[in-house]
Amino acid sequence: PAAAVSTLLRFALLNTSMLNWEILGLAESSTVLGVAWSSVSSLLGFLVVFRTSQAYARFWEGCHAMYQMLGEWFDSASSLIAFCKRSKADKKDVLVFQHTLIRLISLLNAVVLCDLSLGSGDREGGQAMSRAFELELIDAEGIDKQSLLLINEVEDKVELLFQWVQQLIVEAEVSKIFSVSPPILSRAFQELAQGMVRYQDASKIARVPLPFPYMQTMEMLLVFHWLVCPFLTCMWVQSSFWAGVLTFMQVFFLWSLNCIAAELENPFGDDVNDLPAEALQLDMNRRLLLLLRPGTQRTARLSDKATFDEQEDHHGRLGNKVGFGKNGVQGFSSEGVSLNRRISLGSLQESIQ
């Protein structure tokens, strides 16, 4: 609109004598107006660029906090599952603990994602919980009904689930489910706590916007710039075409940067440019379910073809020298064998078969 106004105004000034700058009182003050306009434009450009840079920093800080939180919680769950290895407790108790832990971590992750997506809005009324159940959960119905009702009633759902996870670990330690010493087990608590700290960092970005006075001042300056730019451009440009082009460039660039900053200020939500909550939840669930598979809990072993030493053949390649055989340690020929060769997934599958 500003470019159209500038083009039409310049065209009218060129083709009619009814409109001139004397009527507006601007004929003798173009130099003063140029200096004032340059100062206002520079100030506005600085404010817009500063807001964009702050929004960009907030966006990446939020992404960093989110992915670190997910990593810390998965690492804690992985450690706790591994600590059950060689447990002397009843296998059923171990299995119940592992499945309860995975379900609580999945639900905790979903509630966190939905809680952050609410931003600075109202957290009451179970809105975060209702949105959390819209995400994919690992058998949330497997949790007892009383606990689900309590989660739905309280406002601080993230803190409640976090406390349940810690209590579950303490109860498992009392039941001798873990096969590691308490100092090693404390690592899981540390990772859970670090994940909670990252959640608070992300929550700060989601709920604390840029200062309101700064935002309103910049919006008012942008509107003022939009209204005045067509008239002042017509004073300094004689061509109707270039008056419209220059007006469009100034207004479009400043408003575009401002809109980009508004999109980047909060990376949590349902917008296209926000972090994909559904994809993050699916990825977390996939990794959590991996921990429960029998193949994951089975520790990898060396095969009969494993090597324990190396030597270079006449081609300068590393080859097999000593390995395990059926009757103990045997020697293997190094001819034509290279330990540093690259192997594709297809050839690896062929060798397994």
At residue 98 the predicted structure's pLDDT band, cuts being 50, 70 and 90, is very high
Q: Look at 98-107, 139-148, 218-227, 321-330 and tell me which has the smallest mean pLDDT.
A: 321-330
Residue 73 pLDDT: 94
Residue 335 pLDDT: 43
Q: What is the rounded average pLDDT of the residues 246-274?
A: 84
Q: What is the rounded average pLDDT of the residues 214-233?
A: 81
Distant-in-sequence, close-in-space partners of 178: CB < 8 Å, separation ≥ 6: 80, 83, 84, 87, 172, 185
Q: What is the rounded average pLDDT of the residues 330-337?
A: 42
DSSP assigned state of 331: E
Residue 309 pLDDT: 66
Q: Say if CB 235 and CB 9 are below 8 A apart.
A: no
Residue 195 pLDDT: 93
Most confident of 2-11, 81-90, 160-169, 320-329: 160-169
Helix intervals (H) in the chain: 2-15, 21-24, 30-83, 91-117, 127-132, 145-153, 157-174, 182-207, 212-236, 240-264, 277-292, 294-297, 345-352
Closest CA to 10 of 188, 239, 277: 239
DSSP assigned state of 332: -
The distance from CA 58 to its chain's CA centroid, rounded to whole angstroms, is 11
pLDDT, one tens digit per residue, over 176-195 is: 999 999 999 999 999 999 99
Q: Which residue has the higher pLDDT, 340 or 70?
A: 70
pLDDT, one tens digit per residue, over 283-317 is: 999 999 999 998 888 888 888 877 776 555 455 55
The distance from CA 227 to its chain's CA centroid, rounded to whole angstroms, is 39
Closest CA to 246 of 261, 259, 235: 235
At residue 332 the predicted structure's pLDDT band, cuts being 50, 70 and 90, is very low
User: Within 13 Å and on the Cβ side, how many CA atoms surround 200?
Assistant: 8
Position 135 pLDDT exceeds 50: yes
Q: How far apart are CA 10 and CA 324, in angstroms?
A: 90
Q: Say if CB 250 and CB 256 are below 8 A apart.
A: no
Distant-in-sequence, close-in-space partners of 97: CB < 8 Å, separation ≥ 6: 84, 168, 172, 175, 177
* CA 317 to each of CA 3, 330, 339, 344: distance values in angstroms, whole numbers, following the listed order: 70, 20, 8, 19
Position 235 pLDDT exceeds 80: no
Residue 236 pLDDT: 66
The pair phi, psi for residue 96, each rounded to 5°, is: -65, -45
Strand partners for 325: 328
Q: Say if CB 274 and CB 266 are below 8 A apart.
A: yes
Task: State the burial class of residue 345 (Cβ atoms within 10 Å of its Cβ: 0-12, 13-18, 19+).
Answer: exposed
Residue 11 pLDDT: 54
At residue 219 the predicted structure's pLDDT band, cuts being 50, 70 and 90, is confident
Residue 123 identity: R
Q: What is the rounded average pLDDT of the residues 9-26?
A: 53
Q: Which residue has the higher pLDDT, 172 or 41?
A: 172
Q: Token pair 């970005």 is at which residue?
A: 205
Q: Which residue has the higher pLDDT, 336 or 8?
A: 8
Q: How far apart are CA 26 and CA 234, in angstroms?
A: 11
% of residues, the chain, pLDDT over 90: 33
Q: How far apart are CA 307 and CA 296, in angstroms?
A: 24
Q: Which residue has the higher pLDDT, 215 or 333?
A: 215
Task: State the burial class of residue 226 (Cβ atoms within 10 Å of its Cβ: 0-12, 13-18, 19+).
Answer: middle
At residue 13 the predicted structure's pLDDT band, cuts being 50, 70 and 90, is low
At residue 105 the predicted structure's pLDDT band, cuts being 50, 70 and 90, is very high
